[in-house]
Every structure is written in C-alpha cells, then in structure tokens.
Amino acid sequence: MFIFVAFVIAVGYFIAEYTQLGYEILILAIAISLIMAFTSYYSGDKVALATTGAKQIKKEDNPYVYRMVENLCITAGLPVPKVYIINDPAPNAFATGRDPEHASIALTTGIIERLENEELEGVIAHELSHIKNYDIRLMTVVIVLVGVIALLSDIFLRMTLFGGGRKSSKEGNNPIFLIIGLVLIVLSPVIAKIIQLAVSRKREYLADASASLMTRYPEGLASALEKISEHKQPMQKANNATAHLFIASPFFGKKHLLSKFFSTHPPIEDRVKELRTMA
C-alpha cells in the first residue's frame, strides 16, 4: 500500500513538472476517485450480487448451507452475513460488503453439489476470512488508487495530444528526467493494475491461512480448490469487474504466458501446496 501511494504521488509530481497546471490536477483526480469510491463503498456489494444473479436465502430455504455458515461464524466470532445462492454449475463462491456487520456470502449451486461437507466448510471459512480480515475494504482503497492513476494518465495524454499546458524547453527541463516521467505516466495504468492484482493475490493466501485456523482442517480447503480447478467451463455471468471477489477465477480459461502477472488469483496449485504445509 505504501508503494502504491508513493507511485500515485510520483505520477502526480511528473505531471505537475511537465505541465503548467500545478498540483491542482492531482487534487482533482483524487477528489473524483473518492466520490466514485464512496458510491462503491456503500453500493458495491449490491451491484456485485446483482451482476452474478445471486438470490438471498433464509435458513428454511437451505438449512445445510445456512447452518454451516452460522456454525463457522460462531467459531470466528462474526455476525452471520446474508447468504446468497447463484444458480450456476461452475463451482465458486465470494464474499462482499464493507465490514462484518454489512457482509454477504454467495455460493454457486455447483460448489454446493460438488463438494463434500469438510470441503464446503473450508470454502465458506475462506470467504468469512475475507470478511473478518476486512479485505473488501482494503480492495476498495486499492481501487481508488488505481482510479487516481488512470485519471491522471488519461488527463496527461489528452493534454499531450492537444499540446496544452506543456512547458517551454527554455525553462531548463532535464530531457532524461522528462523521458523517464513520460514512460512512467504512459505505463502507469498497467503498473497500477499489476500492483492491484498483487495485493489481491496476497489476500487470497491470507484468507486460505485464516480459513485453516478457523476449521483446523487445511486439507478440506485444499481438496476443495483441487475440485474447483478441475471444472473448465466459465461461470455463466463471469465478469472482469467482480472476478477478484471469487475464491477462484470465474473464467476457468486457458492459461497464457502473462496469466501469472495479470490474474486476480494466485495459481491454485500454489495455494494447495501452501495449505498442505499447514497440515
């Protein structure tokens, strides 16, 4: 997070040096991103659930799943979140919400049908760990920083394209300094995305470890992840905007050379390996 904030400041500094608009442009970008974050903070969970077609259930609708969530919440000392079911054969699950008091957990029909009791318990514990560790709130902050960088980069490129606000070469700008700044700004959206994905992947490892402590049975989650990875069909409503929320990528697509860097999740085989070292 410190590196991310420092990166935002560096991008803003280079733009301020290259243009005549000063640091007001950085303040403007932050203000716009904060407004966007405020909206997503209070309504993002509803959007995510609606996007996936999740339907809320009560205890009588699915006692098996609901009681499992209740029991794990007692173990973790968490309030029981709203429970949703997604009618989709692909095995997956996600949690959303701004804090434990305003949280929801969603499971696909595929994951409920495919997993054994201990495996499903491991998956639910993983999602509850995201809630307990405030991962959703952290990712909101990260998304704000990505938004700031994207806005700054877009504004700079538009100014450069139309030739507005550029300093005269007579003002003594160091050419090497400007070249480095230009490269940084042009590549900043890609760099910001990589940092965002790195943060997301680290939180997946943390949630796996926290789930193992919650259930005292790491093999349950490890076995669940292996079964999830065997499914090759993407979710019916897979979406890039919500992909990072799921326990595994909802796309289940073919891996490519850069997938390790641009994936929202660490490789399942690595997660399984880590879990089995905890047994």
Residues that are catalytic: 127
The answer to whether 220 and 122 have CB atoms below 8 angstroms apart is yes
User: Do the Cβ atoms of 87 and 186 come closer than 8 Å?
Assistant: no
Dihedral over Cα of 44, 46, 50, 54: its sign: positive
Given a contact cutoff of 8 angstroms between Cβ atoms, the answer to whether 92 and 174 are in contact is: no
Q: Smallest Cα–Cα separation from 161: which of 7, 273, 19?
A: 19
Q: Which residues contact 131 (CB under 8 A, 6 or more apart)?
A: 78, 81, 95, 97, 99, 100, 103, 105
